[in-house]
Amino acid sequence: MQDLLYFFQQLINGLTIGSTYALIAIGYTMVYGIIGMINFAHGEIYMIGAYTALIAITGLAALGIAWLPLILIVALICAMIVSSSMGWAVERVAYRPVRGRHRLIPLISAIGMSIFLQNYVHLAQGSRNIGFPALIDGGFNFGSGDGFQMSLSYMQITIFITTLICMTALSLFISRSRTGRACRAVSQDLGMANLLGIDTNRIISATFVIGAALAAVAGLLLGMYYGSVDPLFGFIAGLKAFTAAVLGGIGSIPGAMLGGLILGVAESMTSGYLSGEYKDVISFSLLILILLFKPTGLLGKPEVEKI
């Protein structure tokens, strides 16, 4: 019973972290699906989302507003607006001018953008860890009084529910809306979609904006869950989310969700049953194995070289 509770606790830990990886991974996978480039600045967009949310929360607290749902919604909206505009601006400044060139060029441009944004936040906000106020406290406890108690915090429940809502909304948007249909068309064949009258520039911008908005959601959630933010916060999370996207099959949205969850659970199980030191070893070995045996990732479609 004890061991079972322990297992479930680690599973919950893994799913919590995994669902936020999935939120960030969507941004990588959508951009790759549409223009075939890896947006390395995406982790920084997520970090900026977390900082914006923190600034909004601090600002509201200074105004004396204490009603939690209002604080969360305002912080979320601020973070999404700032991150989305950043995502849009990054695409306009760093990627659109070099689109269609050799594929290394946008890649380098993305890395440059990532370094720029990281250092910009270093300068603007300082390099120290800034604590995030614990807004959502408490949770449920399971298990007997003296033995191991499994806890499911309200924060974890918030993360699950928010992720679920975002993912459902995104799936509906992609499958039902006009812009979503255009997104799918552009990802199948950019040139053809253009000929058929789809404003591909607008669709590509929309992809960056959507990815950035989801990353901002993850920024707020993880900022509150972990408890602090720093300018390097996006880099590591971005790396993990990128791994999740590749694991699930880059270019595939369900793949990113699955990849995120698998990565999160693999990490927490490794820390739980082996040692935290091997956490990254196991997750990246998993990635290498999947790429060896299924190069397109779990749910990816084999890429047909278009002539």
Partner 1 sequence: MRTSVKKLVTAVSTSVALMGAGHAAAEIQIGIAGPMTGPVAQYGDMQFSGARMAIEQINANGGVMGEELVAVEYDDVCDPKQAVTVANSLVNDGVRFVIGHLCSSSTQPASDIYEDEGILMVTPASTSPEITERGYELVFRTIGLDSMQGPVAARYIASQSPERVAIVHDKQQYGEGIATAVRDTLKDAGVEIAMFEGITAGDKDFSSLVTKLKQADVDYVYYGGYHPELGLILRQADSAGLDARFMGPEGVGNKDINTIAGEAAEGLLVTLPPAFDQKAENQALVKAFEDKGEDPSGPFVLTSYTAVQLVAEGIEAAGSTDPFDVAAALREGTFQTPIGTVEYDQAGDMKSFEFVVYEWHSDGSKTPVN
Q: Which one of residues 100, 101, 141, 201 is an interface residue with partner 1 (CB under 8 A)?
A: 141
Candidate list 67, 102, 277, 306; residue touching partner 1; CB under 8 A: 277
118 is a contact residue toward partner 1 (CB under 8 A): no
**Residue 161, interface with partner 1 (CB under 8 A)?**
no
Choose the stretch contacting partner 1; rule: CB under 8 A; options: 101-109, 205-213, 233-241, 285-293.
233-241
Which residue intervals of 177-293 are DSSP H helices? 178-188, 190-195, 200-226, 233-248, 253-269, 279-293
Asked whether 296 and 302 are in contact (CB, 8 A), the reply is: yes
How far is it, in rounded angstroms, from Cα 131 to Cα 134? Answer: 9
d(CA 206, CA 212): 10
Q: Which of 88, 148, 173, 284 binds partner 1 (CB under 8 A)?
A: 148
Least Å distance, CB 205 to partner 1, is: 31
Check if the beta carbon of residue 249 is closer than 8 Å to that of residue 257: no
- Per-residue binding string, partner 1, 246-265, x by CB under 8 A, is --------------------
Burial (CB < 10 A; 0-12, 13-18, 19+), residue 306, is exposed
Nearer to partner 1, 50 or 90 (CB): 50
Closest C-alpha to 52, from 92, 86, 26: 86
Question: Residue 4 to residues 37, 143, 183, 262, 275: CA-CA distances in angstroms?
Answer: 43, 10, 44, 20, 19
Token code pair at residue 185: 């068309």
3-state secondary structure of 142: strand
Interacting residue with partner 1 among 97, 101, 104, 149 (CB under 8 A): 149
Tell me which residues in 49-108 interact with partner 1 (CB under 8 A): none
Residue 13 interacts with partner 1 (CB under 8 A): yes or no: yes
Of 209 and 262, nearer to partner 1 (C-beta) is 262
DSSP-assigned beta bridge partners for residue 139:
153
Question: Taking contact as CB under 8 A, which single stretch among the options 5-13, 90-98, 158-166, 178-186 is the one that binds partner 1?
Answer: 5-13
Residue count, binding to partner 1 (CB under 8 A): 44
Task: Report d(CA 31, CA 94) in Å as an integer.
Answer: 14
Query: Using CB under 8 A, which of 100, 191, 276, 295 touches partner 1?
Result: 276
Q: Which residues bind partner 1 (CB under 8 A)?
A: 2, 6, 9-10, 13-14, 16-17, 122, 126-131, 133-134, 137, 139, 141, 148-149, 151, 153, 155, 222, 225-228, 230, 232-233, 236-237, 267-268, 271-272, 275-277, 279-280
